[in-house]
Amino acid sequence: MEGLITKKIRWGQKFGTLEIALTIIGAVLYGLGAFSTMSLAIGFITLRPFAFIAVIWGVMFGPWVGGLAALIGNTFISDILAGWFGIGGVGGAIGNFMMAFIPGLLVSHPKNWKSVALWGGIVGTLVCALFVGGWIALMGFAPFEVLFTSVLISNIPPNLILAPIISAWLFPRVQKRGLYWRDRLESAEAQSLDEEVEEVLEE
Amino acid sequence: MTIVLEMLETGKAKSPIHSCDPRMKLLWWVCFIIVPILVTNPIILIVFTAFIWILAGVAKIAKKMYRFLIVTYPIMIGFIVLTWPFFYKATPDQAFLFNWSIFHVSVEGLIYATAMGLRIVLALTACTFFVMTTDLMDLASGLGEFLQNKLGISYMYPLMVISSFKFIPELSGDYLTITDSFRSRALDIDSGSFFQRLRKLAPVSIPLIDIMLRRAQRISIALEVKAFSVNNKNRTFFKEHRVQAKDFLLLSTGVLALAISIAAVILDVAKVEMFF
Amino acid sequence: MSEAIIKVENLCFQYPGRSVNALQDVNLEIAEGEFVALIGQNGSGKTTLIKHFNGLLKPSKGKVFVKGKDTTSLRTAELARSIGYVFQNPDHQIFAETVRDEIAFGPKNLGFSEERINSEIERVLKEMDLDVDLDEMPFQLSRGQRQRLAVASVLAMEPSILIIDEPTTGQDWKESILLMNLVQNLNDKGHTCIVTTHNMNLVSLFARRVIVMKSGNIFLDGATQDVFRREEELLTAGIKAPDVYLLARSLIPQVQLGKPLTPQRLAELLNTQSNLG
C-alpha cells in the first residue's frame, strides 16, 4: 500500500449531475445523523457518532463533494433545525467543510487505514475544532478551549476509529458502481484526451 | 426524524408572518444574529426574547416552538452555567464563592454566565422562530434566483440545499423501511445500551448505503433528463417574489432591535459588566 | 374453519402528525391455514394493516391479536417467531456477504442452535427452489432469486404465518408464477399466507380469500370467486376484476362458480354449458 499522503494531489473536481446527487445524499445523511444525535448532549459537547460520514464522503466522492455535503448537512440541516445556526454559524460551516475536504484531498487510498485515520481522524478533525472553537470565541459565546475540546471529544472517536474501518469496507462497493472520484476524474480526462486526439486526426 | 419533518411542515403553515417574503425574514433574522453578539445586558436580551415570543403568538407557532425549545433551552443554558463561572477571569476584588487552584466561582462569574445563557437563548429563539415561519425551500429558491441573476452564481448550490430538504422524508423513509425489515427478522434494535444499539445497526447500514448510492445515481439521471446543467446561467424561475408593506414592517422590527443594540453600545449600557 | 390465528378488533390507526386515520375501524379474522390476498389501491391501507400483524405499528385504537396474544405488549422481534414478514423490495433487507449468513441472520437472533440453523438453511433453500452456492454473494443473484432469498431468510425462523408485501413487483411473469407456486406449497403444508399485490391475475390463480381495502376500511371480504364477480363495486375501489371473470359474467351469468376461476375452468364450464344446451 502507498504512503500516508497521496502522490497526486488533485485540487479540482468537475461537478456534473452525479456529483450534485452525491452531495445531496451526503448532506441529508450527515445532517440527519448530526441532528438525530443532538439529544446526546452534555452542554455543548454533543456526541456525534455519525461524524465519520463527512470523512467517508470526502475520501470516496472527492474533497468538494464531501466538503459541500458536510457543510450543507451540518449548517443548513442540523444547525438550522436545531436552532443554533446563528451561534455555530460560519465556524461550523467552514470547520465541517474542512473535515471532509482535507481527507478527501490528501488520503492516499480509501483502504489505507493509517492515511484515513491521520487526515480524517486527526488533522481534519483538529482543523474543524479550530474553526468552530475560534468562531464561537470570536463571537463571545464561549471560551475557545470549551468548544475546541468538545469538538475533538465528539468527533475524534468516530473519525479515528469508525472512518478507517468503514472506508476500507465501503470502497469496493463504491468502486464497483463506478462512483470513486479519482476513477471518475481519470476516466473523464482519458475521454477528453481521446477527443483531443480525434480532433487532431480530423484536422 | 419526525421532529425534522414537523419543523419543515410548520414553515409552510399560514399566518401573517408565514406569508411574508422569505428573503425579508432572512434579513430580519440576520439582525437578530448580530444583536446577541453586540449585547450582553440581560435586561435587553430578555426584552428581545419576549418580543420574539409575541411574534410567535402572531404566527400561531408559540405552542410548537415551546415544545421544541423546552428541550434545547436547558441543554444550552446548563452548559453555559456550568462552564462560564470557571472561565470568567478572576480578579482579586471579586466576591468568591469557591476558589481552588484554577477553579473559581464568583458572584460576578455567575451573573456573567447568566448573561451568556440569555444571549444563547435569544439566538436560539430567533433561529427557531425563523425556521418555523419560513418555507426553507421557497427561501433557497428565492435566493437562488438572486444569486444567479445578480451575481452569476450557478443554481447548483441552492439546488443542492433545496434537494437536501426535499430528500429528508425520502431518506428517512428508506431508513425506517430497512430497520422495519430487520425488526421483522427478530433484530431487537429497540433495546440495549446506546453502544449495543449502534452495534446492532451495523447490518442495517449495508442495505442503507446501497440504497443511498442507487438513489444518488437515480437523482443524477433525473437531473440529466431534465437538462440540468451546472454552467447554465440563463435558468428562469417559476415563482417570483414581490416585497410588500408588511414585509417591511417585519423587517423594521429587526432593524429597530439592531438600532437599540447599537445605541446601547454607544451609551455604554450594552454589557453585563455595568451591573458589577 | 379453524380458530382465528389473527384477529383484528375495531382497529384505528393514525400516522403521527396526520389528521386522517390511515385505518378506520377495521374488524377482521384470519383462520389458520388460509391463503388471503389483500388488494386495494395505493394508499388504501393494505401495508398499514399488515404492519399491525407483526407489531411494526401499534393500534391507535382497537386491538390486534396474533395467536390469541395482544400485539400491543409485544415487540416485533418477539412476534417474528410466529409471523414472518417479507418486505416488498428485497434490497431493503439483504445485507450479508454470503447466502448462508443472510438466511442464518433471523434464526440467530432467535437463538436457534447451529445444527438447527444449518438444517433450516437447507430446508428453506429447497422450499424456495434456490439452487445457489451457500457462499455466493446475495447481491450477485438475479432479482427473482433475491426475492426468493428474502422469503427464505424469513421462512428460516419457522413462522406459521407468512406475510408477503407485493412479492411480484418488478418481476417477470415466470418468476412471479414460480414464487407464487412456492408460496402455495407452503400454504399446503399448513402455513397461513397473506399476500398483498396489484396483480389480479395472480390473485385469481392462487388466493382462496380476497380482502379489498378502500380508504382505510375493509370494503369487500369473501371467497375469491365471489369478490371478483362484483365488478362494479370493485371498480369504485379502483380495481378491475380479471378478464376471465368479466368473460364469465357475460357468457354464463347464472352459473355458480364454487371455486376460483381460471381460463381452463371457464373453458370447461362453457363446454358443459354448450353440451347441456
The domain spans of chain A are 17-202
Coil/strand/helix, residue C223 = strand
C-contacting chains (≥3 CB pairs under 8 Å): B
Over 80: is that where the pLDDT of C6 sits?
yes
Smallest Cβ–Cβ distance between A146 and the set B83, B171, B230 belongs to B83
Query: Could you tell me the pLDDT band of residue A67, with boundaries at 50, 70 and 90?
Result: very high
Least confident of B143-157, C119-133, C229-243: B143-157
Over 60: is that where the pLDDT of C277 sits?
no
Beta strands in B102-231 (DSSP E): 103-106
Q: Are residues C148 and C164 both part of a single domain?
A: no
Sequence-separated (6 or more) residues with CB below 8 Å from residue B221: A17
If you ran DSSP here, which 8-state letter would residue A162 be given?
I
Contact across the interface for B187 and C75, Cβ inside 8 Å:
no
Over 90: is that where the pLDDT of C187 sits?
yes
Instruction: Output phi, psi for C35, to 5 deg.
Output: -120, 100
Query: Could you tell me the pLDDT band of residue C100, with boundaries at 50, 70 and 90?
Result: very high
| B263 touching chain A per CB within 8 A | no
Q: Chains B, C: CB contacts under 8 A, how many?
A: 75
The answer to whether residue C98 is domain-embedded is yes
Q: What is the distance in angstroms between the Cα of A25 and the nearest Cα belonging to chain B?
A: 6
Smallest Cβ–Cβ distance between B87 and the set A143, A170, A174 belongs to A143
Complex-level ipTM beyond the 0.90 threshold? no
Over 80: is that where the pLDDT of A2 sits?
no
Residue that is written with C-alpha cell 389480479 in the block = C200
> What is the identity of the amino acid at A37?
T
Coil/strand/helix, residue C84 = strand
The answer to whether residue C219 is domain-embedded is yes
pLDDT for A40 equals 55
A91-117 residues labelled b (16+ CB within 10 A) or e (exposed): bbbbbbbbbbbbbbbbbbbbbbbebbb
Residue that is written with C-alpha cell 464561549 in the block = A142
More confident position, C68 or A41:
C68
The H or E element containing residue A115 is: helix A113-116
Q: Are residues C27 and C134 both part of a single domain?
A: no
A123-145 residues labelled b (16+ CB within 10 A) or e (exposed): bbbbbbbbbbbbbbbebebbbbe
- Residue C158 corresponds to which cell in the numbers above? 419457522
Contact residues on chain C for B204, CB-CB shorter than 8 A: 95
Contact across the interface for A81 and B4, Cβ inside 8 Å:
yes
The range of the structural domain enclosing residue C149 comes to 90-158
Q: Are residues C164 and C184 both part of a single domain?
A: yes
Over 70: is that where the pLDDT of B79 sits?
no
CA distance B260 to B39: 10
pLDDT for B124 equals 86
Strand partners, A46: A41
The answer to whether residue C268 is domain-embedded is no
pLDDT for A59 equals 94
Smallest Cβ–Cβ distance between B211 and the set C51, C91, C110 belongs to C91
| B121 touching chain A per CB within 8 A | no
| C101 touching chain B per CB within 8 A | no
Contact across the interface for C17 and B5, Cβ inside 8 Å:
yes
Contact residues on chain B for A85, CB-CB shorter than 8 A: 127
CATH code of the domain in which C233 resides: 3.40.50.300
Contact across the interface for B168 and A20, Cβ inside 8 Å:
no
Contact across the interface for C93 and B181, Cβ inside 8 Å:
yes
Over 50: is that where the pLDDT of C1 sits?
no
| C16 touching chain B per CB within 8 A | yes
Smallest Cβ–Cβ distance between B161 and the set A49, A76, A146 belongs to A76
| C154 touching chain B per CB within 8 A | yes
- Residue A22 corresponds to which cell in the numbers above? 452525491
- Residue B33 corresponds to which cell in the numbers above? 444574529
CA distance C165 to C186: 16
Residue that is written with C-alpha cell 471532509 in the block = A100
- How far apart, in Å, do the first and last CA atoms of chain A sit? 44
Residue that is written with C-alpha cell 452542554 in the block = A43
Cα–Cα distances in angstroms (integers) from residue B235 to residues A15, B3, B143, B227, B230, in the given order = 18, 34, 14, 11, 10
Please, which residues 179-218 of chain B have a Cβ atom closer than 8 Å to chain A? 194, 198, 209-210, 212-213, 215-218
The answer to whether residue C255 is domain-embedded is no
Angle of helix A52-61 versus helix A85-106 axis, rounded to 10: 40
Contact B114, B42 (CB under 8 A): yes
CA distance C153 to C147: 10
Q: Taking CA atoms, what residue in A is nearest to B206?
A: A170
Angle of helix B42-58 versus helix B245-266 axis, rounded to 10: 170
Cα–Cα distances in angstroms (integers) from residue B207 to residues A173, A196, C95, in the given order = 11, 41, 6
| B176 touching chain A per CB within 8 A | no
Smallest Cβ–Cβ distance between B216 and the set A22, A68, A89 belongs to A22
CA distance C66 to B276: 69
Over 80: is that where the pLDDT of A89 sits?
no
- Work out the average pLDDT over A52-78: 93
Smallest Cβ–Cβ distance between B228 and the set A17, A39, A85 belongs to A17
In chain A, DSSP finds a helix count (H) and a strand count (E) of 10, 2
Cα–Cα distances in angstroms (integers) from residue A47 to residues A28, A29, A143, B81, in the given order = 18, 16, 19, 20
Contact B173, B162 (CB under 8 A): no
In percent, the amount of chain B with pLDDT more than 70 equals 87
Mean pLDDT rounded to a whole number for chain C: 90
- Residue C253 corresponds to which cell in the numbers above? 351469468
Q: Pick from B1, B10, B67, B185 the residue to mutate for testing the C interface (most C CBs within 10 Å).
A: B185
If you ran DSSP here, which 8-state letter would residue B32 be given?
H
Sequence-separated (6 or more) residues with CB below 8 Å from residue A78: A30, A31, A32, A34, A35, A38
Q: What is the distance in angstroms between the Cα of C110 and the nearest Cα belonging to chain B?
A: 7
CA distance B88 to A192: 60
A40-59, pLDDT tens digit by residue? Answer: 555 555 678 888 999 999 99
Contact C153, C93 (CB under 8 A): yes
Q: Are residues C228 and C194 both part of a single domain?
A: yes
Contact across the interface for A43 and B165, Cβ inside 8 Å:
no
- Work out the average pLDDT over A68-96: 84
| B9 touching chain C per CB within 8 A | yes
- Work out the average pLDDT over B221-243: 80
Sequence-separated (6 or more) residues with CB below 8 Å from residue B120: A84, A87, A141, B36, B76, B77, B80
Architecture of domain A17-202: Orthogonal Bundle (1.10)
- Work out the average pLDDT over B93-118: 73
Contact across the interface for B230 and A29, Cβ inside 8 Å:
no
| C213 touching chain B per CB within 8 A | no
CA distance C67 to C71: 10
pLDDT for A196 equals 75
Over 60: is that where the pLDDT of C18 sits?
yes
Q: Are residues C74 and C169 both part of a single domain?
A: yes
pLDDT for B192 equals 78
- Residue A90 corresponds to which cell in the numbers above? 460560519
| B15 touching chain A per CB within 8 A | no
If you ran DSSP here, which 8-state letter would residue A5 be given?
B
Query: Could you tell me the pLDDT band of residue A81, with boundaries at 50, 70 and 90?
Result: confident
CA distance A34 to A21: 20
| C65 touching chain B per CB within 8 A | no
Q: Taking CA atoms, what residue in B is nearest to A21?
A: B216
CA distance A137 to A184: 41
Q: Are residues C62 and C14 both part of a single domain?
A: yes
Contact B120, B33 (CB under 8 A): no
Judging by beta carbons within 10 Å of its beta carbon (0-12, 13-18, 19+), is residue B67 exposed, middle or buried?
exposed
C139-185, pLDDT tens digit by residue? Answer: 889 989 999 999 999 999 999 999 999 988 888 888 899 999 999 99
Tally of structural domains, chain C = 2
- Work out the average pLDDT over C42-51: 92
Q: Chains A, B: CB contacts under 8 A, how many?
A: 151
CA distance C13 to C5: 21
The answer to whether residue C29 is domain-embedded is yes
pLDDT for B9 equals 80
Least confident of A56-70, A80-94, B247-261, C144-158: A80-94
Smallest Cβ–Cβ distance between A83 and the set B124, B136, B228 belongs to B124
Sequence-separated (6 or more) residues with CB below 8 Å from residue C126: none
Contact across the interface for B160 and A68, Cβ inside 8 Å:
yes
